[in-house]
Amino acid sequence: MSGRRVAWIGAALALGLAAAPGCGGGDDGGPAETCTVAGGAPGFDAAGPLCTKLSSYQLFDDIAAQAPADGVVPYDLNTPLFSDYATKYRFLYVPDGQTMAWDDVESFDLPVGAILVKTFAFLADRREPDGARDLIETRLMIHRADGWEPAAYLYDPDDQDATLAIAGATVDVAWIHDDGSPRTDAYGVPNKNQCKNCHEEHDDVVGPLGPKARHLNRPGPDGSGIDDQLAHLIDLGVLAGAPADPTTWPRAAVFDDPSTGTVEARARAWLDINCSHCHNPRGAARTSGLDLSLGQTDPYEYGVCKAPVAAGTGSGDRPYGIVPGDPDQSILVYRIESTDPAVRMPELGRNLVHEEGVAVIREWISSMSGGCATVAPPAR
């Protein structure tokens, strides 16, 4: 049984909260106690309310073991979003007879009724990936007819089920880190509005972030037996429209695996997954003028010798987003190394610094030559 301490954000459990606009609800406007699909299959009524319990969606044969039900596909990403050293387990459900459509750049177009599942857990000892762990939350992205709806489910102490947490929560967690040192964190389960803040990648429309070809082009999770995730999804009949030649499929580097790309490729992959959902021409941070998408090829656009739009605390008195050869004078490094809520980037989803990710970004910037002293920004 878990010994974690949970502080619910708000005055009551999600069961007692009125549903937020657009999040469905029972007869009284709140979540439904159960919304199980007949026949024991995964899924739920895409026009109905959110369930109060994760088990009602029937996505797992064994929730505590994170063993998916038939029709629920495990997957992983080349470089994952950092979330305070949480271990993540990802799954995809596409209703029978439906397919998602391939896209070379954007997230795959998933059908109504599809559910993206991501469980966050903390290993007791990160040096033992198959050892004891504490399940904290499972986040769902549910595709309704009128768009995507996020929902977070907070695990019960015995990890046998999880309860809808519309208002979010703070969970005290502890683990043994990779270097053998004890670590702790006040891990934040997001409230419903915070989910939207990150998942509005383009034009203030909520949508999925991870299921892109470049992120999924890799083997499946350890133990899944999946050698090629994209080919596996095609063989299952749930992904259509992929180019016939697999060698043309895009692939992002693994940020901490030099065999998958240069230090630049790995640093750009880290920025792509951690930052570009906001820092892109149509994202929430578009007014910054900074585009950290992997597909951006203009160094000035992704910050090289680019002055900040507005100076202040967030710049740390550094002159440019990236100063070639000098990570300590680069705003980008200053912000990803900060834990100050007024400075840190990403703003949400972390309290801690991703030490390994920062190391790759520093190595990349240090490898650049030229500096910015004599470089004038190009005319725009």
pLDDT 10s digits, 87-121: 999 999 999 999 999 999 999 999 999 999 999 99
Do 215 and 285 lie in one domain? The reply is no
Nearest to 83 by CA among 288, 273, 276, 335: 273
Cα angle 291, 295, 300; round to 5:
45
Residue type, 331: I
User: Of 248, 269, 290, which residue is a domain's last?
Assistant: 248
Q: Indicate if the pLDDT at residue 26 is higher than 50.
A: no
Q: Is 376 a member of any domain? A: no
Q: Is 379 a member of any domain? A: no
Q: Indicate if the pLDDT at residue 306 is higher than 80.
A: yes
Q: Is 374 a member of any domain? A: no
Task: For residues 306 and 284, give the distance between their C-alpha atoms in angstroms, rounded to a whole number.
Answer: 19
pLDDT band of residue 12 (cuts 50, 70, 90) is very low
Do 61 and 204 lie in one domain? The reply is yes
- Please indicate whether residue 154 or residue 281 has the higher confidence score (pLDDT): 154
Q: Is 373 a member of any domain? A: no
Do 161 and 290 lie in one domain? The reply is no
User: Of 196, 221, 248, which residue is a domain's last?
Assistant: 248
Q: Which of 69-83, 123-137, 300-314 has the lowest mean pLDDT?
A: 300-314
Residue 121: CB partners within 8 Å, gap ≥ 6?
A: 86, 87, 88, 89, 133, 134, 135, 136
User: Of 248, 280, 307, which residue is a domain's last?
Assistant: 248
Do 265 and 244 lie in one domain? The reply is no
Do 206 and 310 lie in one domain? The reply is no
Can you point out the beta strands (E) in the chain?
A: 5-8, 60-62, 67-68, 72-75, 87-93, 100-101, 115-123, 133-144, 147-155, 162-164, 169-176, 182-189, 239-240
Q: Which residues pair with 110 in a beta bridge?
A: none
pLDDT band of residue 378 (cuts 50, 70, 90) is very low
pLDDT at 376: 45
Domain span holding position 308: 258-367
Q: Are 114 and 100 in contact (CB under 8 A)?
A: yes
pLDDT at 285: 79
Do 199 and 56 lie in one domain? The reply is yes
Q: Indicate if the pLDDT at residue 127 is higher than 50.
A: yes
Do 152 and 270 lie in one domain? The reply is no
Q: How many residues would you count in the chain?
A: 380
Do 197 and 289 lie in one domain? The reply is no
Q: Is 377 a member of any domain? A: no
Tens digit of each residue's pLDDT (9 = 90 or more) over 169-219? 999 999 999 999 999 999 999 887 765 555 554 446 667 877 999 999 999
Do 218 and 113 lie in one domain? The reply is yes
Q: Is 378 a member of any domain? A: no
Tens digit of each residue's pLDDT (9 = 90 or more) over 146-181? 888 999 999 999 999 999 999 999 999 999 999 999
Number of domains in the chain: 2
Query: Taking the alpha carbons of 13, 15, 21, 23 in that order, is the dihedral positive or negative?
Result: positive
Instruction: Tokens for 24, please give them.
Output: 């469905």
Do 289 and 197 lie in one domain? The reply is no
pLDDT at 31: 65
Q: Is 347 a member of any domain? A: yes
Largest CA distance in the chain: 69
Tens digit of each residue's pLDDT (9 = 90 or more) over 347-375? 877 999 999 999 999 999 999 998 897 44
Do 271 and 241 lie in one domain? The reply is no
Give the strand pairing for 72-75 and 169-176.
unpaired
Do 212 and 262 lie in one domain? The reply is no
Query: Taking the alpha carbons of 19, 21, 23, 29 in that order, is the dihedral positive or negative?
Result: positive
Q: Is 360 a member of any domain? A: yes
- Please indicate whether residue 37 or residue 123 has the higher confidence score (pLDDT): 123
